[in-house]
Amino acid sequence: MRKGVRNLLCTPLNRYCCCLLLGVLSQNTFATTTAEKDAFYSVWQKTTVSGTVVDESGLPVIGATIVAEKVEGGTITDDNGRFDLAVPEGVKKVKLRISFIGMTTQEVTVTAGMPVTITLREDVTMLSDVVVIGYGTEKKKNIAGAVSNITSEELTKTSVESVQKALQGKVSGVQIITANGTPGGAVSVNIRGRSTFSGGTAPLYIIDGVQMVTGDQSTGIVKSTDVLSTLNPDEIESIDILKDGASASIYGAQAANGVVLITTKKGKEGKTKISVKLSGGMQKISNKLDLLTASQVAELDLLAMKNRYGETSSEYLGRLSQYQGFGWGDDGFSKAQTTDWYDMIYRTAYTSDAQISATGGTAKTKYFLSAAYNKTDGIVKETGFQRGAFRVNLTQELLPWLSISTNNNYSVMDQDQYSGVRAANPSRVAVLVHPANSPYGKNGEFVRDLPYGYYQHNSLQMLNLNEYSGRTSKLITANSLDFKILEGLTFKSSYNADLTTIEEHSFIDPRTREGAKENGSVTSMTGKLINFQTEQVASYNNVFNEIHRISAVAGFSYRHEQYKRHGATGTGVSDPSLHLLGTTAVAKEVSGTFSEWKMASLFARVNYTLKDRYILTGTIRRDGSSRFGENNKWGIFPSVSAAWRIIEEPFMEPVKSWLSDLKLRGSYGITGNSDIGDYTARRWYSSGGAYDNSSAIIPTYIGNPYLTWEKNHSRNIGITTGFLDDRITLETDFYLNDTKDLLYNRTIPATTGFTVIPSNMGGVRNKGVDIMLNTVNVRAGGFEWRSALNLSFTKNEITELQDGLDVLGDYKVGQSISSLPTYQWAGVNSADGRPMYYDKDGYITYVPKDEDRIWTKPADPTFYGGFNNDFTWKGFTLSVFFQFQRGAVSLWNDKLVLASYEGDTNLLSDMYYKHWSQPGDMTWVPKPSYQSAYPGNPRQISEYSTLCYEKTDYIKLKNVSLSYDFPAKWLKGLYISNLQLYVSGYNLWTTTTYPGHDPEFTGGDLGTYPQSRSYTVGLKVDF
């Protein structure tokens, strides 16, 4: 686009016209007194200021405007970006203003007679002035709702394999949690709080108009696959997030959790530009728990046995004799050898990424082609992720009134994971296995059964011999015909599809403990997803009498989704070198499923703008879905929004010297949640049992023909401000979302033959504030420092439950959805070392009851956000990004295991160094006592007590990147237009009081694939 503007300005006629306008520009830009002008003109001779204007890649900027302070007239740069500007003789220092459309204006002071090179940078604010909304685009200044935009430059600062990871912490109101560190694994995205008990919480993802299928699409062997993991982040042009109900209501029943619009790169008119990007890196586990040595575990176990049964008891003496027999010393512990199972399970892993793209075209034909390969080895041995992706985006004008476009992405993703079985899970075993165990025998061979403790599976052996793999092949294709019917009236006919094939395979070697029982097994599963969509949309845009602007869309949408899955399991592996289902001896299980759903929709939106100041938008959508009951298949989702651009009012003229933008926004909209499962509303039957000695069909699920949508009523008030020519911009949004008719299983009398029925009941309220602050802190002498801060304050509250009940299961009116009932920890009795709790009346008890439970603080933070700083100077760019949250607590149920004296697992180091030993000790660690020392509380520390809840406040140095763009003069003759080298680090540092692997892992992280710390080096070359 910028090149097109340059070519237009570089024609002789336009240069001449620009020169005629320079006098006016200079008068507006640098006001001077008549006396000052006369003083300069009186000494006017032949002194000149000369130089060259280039862009960030070193290419000349053609047609840039150069104006000198206190000097009449100006000039523009030539085809080489050069300029010469006459100034009065005797002037040594001259202040120049250099400007060009689409680039930030620079003001520099130069010395007359000394050539200077001036670098202009792209104006990010101007380039991102247009955002994508539902079924169209709109200028930011005309948006009345809450829409956030992220550019490709922001995304690619973070070297990660996932789009969501690149987005993390960069948008207010959008909480992105890396639920586990599995390469290509699932990422949780929550926009403005959780608003459902049992419905889906993921937003609606739309890629180039294709509505994607959300949720885990695996067949059950490979866990936690991510819906966007097949998408290459470098192919993305921009991401726009619709956060409020008015912005999202154009998508109706699928938009209650927000909408994420992803636009991929398209071709641009001009010569073919080829870009190559190569990178490599390494990663390792970001944090390890502080655990005990083998001798410390044995010593504590003996102490717990002695405290429980007595030093002369048969139980204690028997355990001591057992440990002595292991060769652990006469005391039973001092000579026990320790194996670091973190070192056994984890590794330093390596990553590599290679990409090539080509873009270009003519006025009628434009194209963008790319190919990419990413390989990310996992930090758990024998795990990893690979992705190959190919993209073809084409636009062709067939006739002046007809064009065709096709956007296609084909990708193949391979994943290698591990067993999720509790006792065989290597991430769990690395922490809990007794540290006296070694995975190797005397001759260096793998041992099948570990001799000490509860965890006897040799996870290192299983990682080497077993296989849990999956391949996902996905084609995303968006195709359209675009008709220009009349001036301002267009029609778009789209045919889109998301086609996915999932092939997953598991092999359990008979030589492992997991495979010994059935002499090994092989499972093969195949899933096929067909997601077809068509949309027919008419759009109208026009301006009347120069002050009335109307834009409107109306259309029809149809979506049909099918999912098929089949597979088989065989046992009895005859040859461990053959991981084939056909080589097994026994066909254990054959299974298959099929499901489908359909949705038809009508929608319309009208936007009216008066004098570029007053904006009013109305939207309505009617959806019909096969997922809901016969009596409630259709729903209507309306919205209205308005904005007032106060800055355009005449009475604001006196403050425009420092206030560059002021806009007030307000909206109300209703959206729905249809992510409930394809057949939740229907009655289910299954074969089983018998009647009169014959097989029978019996009802297994009651269904509900009156089941309807969850409805989110969203209110938003926002204010947009800009200061000092938008060097400071601030967007603040206040929202209040009430979700009603929540989907939940209502309890019914057992005499019906069922215990629950799916119903609409209850309500949830989310309210909060979103803040986005962008500043240009310094811009001088070629140095620039930009900052971006986003903050989100949120509160979640249950407002209603079934039949007016105050408490229902783990939910309570007035509490957050994420709050849980739990026992209240009172500490350790300093006299005898016993753990204590509070009862419902506030008195000490040693055996708490259900009625003593209280509701915890929510797992959702009080506020969260991110803070980014970009520093640029002479081709160098340094980006430093922090992510943070505060006010949340999470059940770290790992403490229940890691702080329990059972003698067969490893423990936290606090259990050895901080346990109660004698009367008067003040500590949180009870007196070591083996198992059921205290009646009713065999593990001493009760599960779901407040002791097991930990604060998950944190500040993370999430990403640091440093890049250098080589000057264009160094690249002459190499056919290279831009060359950039960069290094980056991800997840570098965390400060937190959370004792587990990572504060983002809520609910315990034993068995969860840990986060990694990564380092990357790479280069980008444009030809």
Closest C-alpha to 459, from 346, 330, 581, 295: 346
At 36 the pLDDT is: 43
* Sign of the Cα pseudo-torsion (51, 52, 55, 61, in order): positive
- The DSSP element (H or E) to which 154 belongs, if any, is helix 152-155
DSSP conformation letters of 197-265 = SSS--PPEEEETTEEPPPS----SSS--B-TTTTS-GGGEEEEEEE-SHHHHGGGGGG-TT-EEEEEE-
At 940 the pLDDT is: 55
d(CA 981, CA 278) in angstroms, rounded, equals: 10
**Helix, strand and coil percent figures for the chain, each rounded to 5:** 15, 50, 35
What are the CA-CA distances from residue 155 to residues 165, 212, 373 (Å)? 9, 20, 18
- CA terminus-to-terminus distance, the chain: 18
**The token pair that represents 108 in the structure block:** 């520099």
At 690 the pLDDT is: 61
Q: Which residues of the chain have pLDDT under 70?
A: 1-46, 57-58, 101-102, 123-128, 224-225, 688-694, 900, 902-903, 931-943, 1002-1004
At 938 the pLDDT is: 43
Instruction: Report phi then psi at 296, rounded to 5.
Output: -70, -40
pLDDT in tens, 185-211: 778 899 999 888 887 888 999 999 999
At 12 the pLDDT is: 40
711 Cβ neighbours under 8 A, 6+ residues apart: 256, 635, 670, 671, 672, 739, 740, 741
As to burial, measured by CB atoms within 10 angstroms (0-12 exposed, 13-18 middle, 19+ buried), residue 486 is exposed
Neighbours of 153 (CB within 10 A): 14
875 Cβ neighbours under 8 A, 6+ residues apart: 964, 965, 966, 967
The structural domains of the chain, ordered by start, are 2-122 (2.60.40.1120), 126-266 (2.170.130.10)
* SS3 state of residue 722: strand
pLDDT in tens, 860-895: 899 999 999 999 999 999 999 999 999 999 888 777
At 6 the pLDDT is: 40
**Which residue type sits at 528?**
K
What are the CA-CA distances from residue 586 to residues 344, 465, 468 (Å)? 34, 21, 20
Q: Is residue 126 within 8 Å of residue 102, measured between CB atoms? A: yes
Strand partners, 586: 571
Strand partners, 880: 869, 960
Alpha helices in 831-914 (DSSP H): 894-898, 910-913
Strand partners, 99: 65
At 224 the pLDDT is: 64
What global pTM score does this model have?
A: 0.85
What are the CA-CA distances from residue 45 to residues 86, 87, 88, 90, 392 (Å)? 8, 8, 6, 9, 59
34 Cβ neighbours under 8 A, 6+ residues apart: none
**The token pair that represents 196 in the structure block:** 């459902």
**Interior CA angle at 217 toward 215 and 223, to 5°?**
95
At 123 the pLDDT is: 65
Place of tokens 């993370």: 956
Return the HEC string of 509-556: CCCCHHHHCCCCEEEEEEEEEEEEEEEEEEEEEEEECCCEEEEEEEEE
**The token pair that represents 170 in the structure block:** 């960069």
- The DSSP element (H or E) to which 465 belongs, if any, is helix 459-465
What are the CA-CA distances from residue 830 to residues 456, 826, 834, 923, 926 (Å)? 37, 11, 8, 8, 9
